[in-house]
A and B are shown apart, each in its own frame.
Chain A
Amino acid sequence: MTAALTQILAHLLGRLPIGWLQLIHKPGRFAAAVAGVAFANLLVLMQLGFLGALTGSIALPYRALEADILIQSSDANTLQDGSPLPRARMLEALAVPGVASATTVHVGRLDWRQPNGSNVNLDVLGINPGMPSLRLPEVEAARPLLAVGSFALVDRTTRGLDPVLRARLEAGGTQRFEANGHGVTVTGTFSIGGGFGADGYLVVSDQTFLRLFRNRSPGAPNLVLLRATPGEDIAALVGRIHAALPTGDVMVRSVMEAAAADTTFQTTRRPVGIIFGFGVAIGVLVGGIIVYQVLSTDVADHIREYATFKAMGYGRGTFLSIVLEEAMILALAGVVPGALAAAALYAGISAITGLPLALEAPRLASVFVGTVLLCLLSGTVATRRLARADPAELF
């Protein structure tokens, strides 16, 4: 096995694969080094996975909005955290040519004590049942029902949703619950997908919303959803709406822009995003240090042999290529177990938390390229010790 690899490497390098031979000469150290690289890979992949789940889950509710343009209070960073805005903005926006239709959404947060006794934390979306608001077929179909009473639909991917309850709802059953002194009957499910904020979503009519949240007013929703007439240039329309509205209290953005701004906010300004970004940096640092340690120890261990090679007429390039050969081998050998371990953990965490964790090819590719670059960088730094290989001291 090793002999065959030696042959292949000799063929690839056009010389004896000294780096490889040095590595396998000490199998214990080699295995530890590979484990170190694999661990650093795992660390980075996990953090990137969480970061990806964060950004992915941020985009999910925006994608569910049946809208081209979104008006929010100017203090809103996410879909959930903005102040209410005057409903009058919707009417003003409707007057702008190119706006086909408009509707409002109230957003609130609710703790729901489930029949099995556990609590889930839900983002409640209060929609106008007379207008399409969400690109969710189940919600569309239920609009007439939502209009006539205190009914609700719950996200079936809600984290911690009672499985018995979910099964019953999916089989067509209902579940009544009471919150803030008001009774609501859950009649069905839909799917947006969970994130790092609430455990899931609950969709009700605006009337039901106002009964659940007594301090909210019908004249002050959180979101105004606008549809443009077909073929309209959204960016230009956003500009016209912006000009038509009183300045200061609201933001007018395309839904995509709003989602991008939300992602930027949550990944760079909120602790959760910063922590994952920091985790990536730590993983990179750990990997770099491990590889540097292994390679510079290896250089130090072979300083006499390298001095001998220097005496024999080998130049600096030879030693650099030996160390880089080792770095490449460590990167390649480490990335495979690292990725496999990450894939297993992704699956496990995804199953437990409902977060959209997936080992996507681009992420794997960038981690691989990053590992190789980092290993090469560490190797190059490690060769600085080679200056100490003085062939004159061999005699």
Chain B
Amino acid sequence: MSAPPAIAVTRLNHAFGVGEAERQVLFDVALEIPRGALVVLMGASGSGKTTLLTLLGCLREVQQGSVRVLGTELNDASEQVMVALRRRFGFIFQAHNLHESLTALQNVRMGLDVHGPAPGADDAAAHVLRLLGLGERLDYKPRRLSGGQKQRVAVARALVGNPEVVFADEPTAALDKESGFEVVALLRRLAKQRGTTTLMVTHDTRILDLADRIIVMEDGRVKEGG
């Protein structure tokens, strides 16, 4: 028997609003992503891919259907279960969402400290930042970093805790071609070395070659690749 898939979704429906204003955004979605895969989620804006990402990432409650992430059913999961699962994820947001009061190193440490205080946290955070070419910027606050540098700090923050699943929303949007490719290559390397599963929303066709699978969504349904 093989391990359960990282993500398994069946018959997932989701709607926003109530009554007259109710608008369904996901229709009977089903997909399965094995551990260690790097999957790209594509689709026009409004196709429901961001909603799907927030549902899988335990940031939104499942209304109808089954979503199993890392073997845990999310439909009817308690807040505690969701929070505990989120600690096993890494999130990379479209906007970097770094804390402006914290240095690059401190921002990355936040990704580690969620697992509790650990000796050598600073060293681990510095190591990941160096891997991403920010060894000279450890004590810089976000204000003094360029857009690309900020995005790389955000990537470091997502990866420093050795997440089992990485959710990324347009992680390369703020990066030039070279560093965008570099970030995705790093994600891919992690996927292969550590078995990290990566689900990435992107419009960036330059990096599709690196994906194991491409899922295309259209009007709330999985069009191909599910």
Contacts and interface: CB of A to CB of B under 8 A. Distances in A.
B83 A18 contact: no
Nearest to B143: A25
B111 to A, nearest CB: 6
B113 interface: yes
B169 interface: yes
Contacts of A307: 97
A305 B97 contact: yes
A314 B114 contact: yes
Given A309-B110, A391-B59, A395-B54, A18 B99 contact: yes
B93 interface: yes
Instruction: Name A's interface SS.
Output: helix
Contact of B109 (A16, A24, A305, A309): A16
Interface in B156-211: 157, 169
Nearest to A315: B83
Interface string A146-160: 000000000000000
B123 to A, nearest CB: 15
A395 B50 contact: yes
Nearest to B94: A395
Contacts, number: 71
Given A22-B101, A315-B83, A16 B59 contact: no
Interface of B: 50, 53-54, 57, 59-60, 83-89, 91, 93-95, 97-102, 106, 109-111, 113-114, 117, 141, 157, 169
Contact of B60 (A25, A304, A312, A392): A392
Nearest to B97: A308
A246 interface: no
Interface string A23-60: 01100000000000000000000000000000000000
A345 interface: no
Interface string A294-315: 0000000010110111011111
B92 to A, nearest CB: 10
Contacts of B88: 313
Interface string A353-395: 0000000000000000000000000000000000000011011
Contact of B101 (A25, A304, A312): A25
A392 B110 contact: no
A192 B53 CA distance: 80
B93 A25 contact: no
Contact of B117 (A14, A312, A313, A391): A14
A313 B99 CA distance: 16
A312 B59 contact: no
A21 B101 contact: yes
Most A C-beta atoms less than 10 A away, residue of B84, B94, B102 = B102
A313 B110 contact: no
Contacts of A308: 91, 93, 97, 99
Nearest to A6: B106
Contacts of A391: 54, 59
A313 B59 contact: no
A394 B97 contact: yes
A305 B93 CA distance: 12
A302 B91 contact: no
A30 B110 CA distance: 23
Contacts of B102: 16, 18, 21
A339 to B, nearest CB: 29
B111 A302 contact: no
Nearest to A311: B91
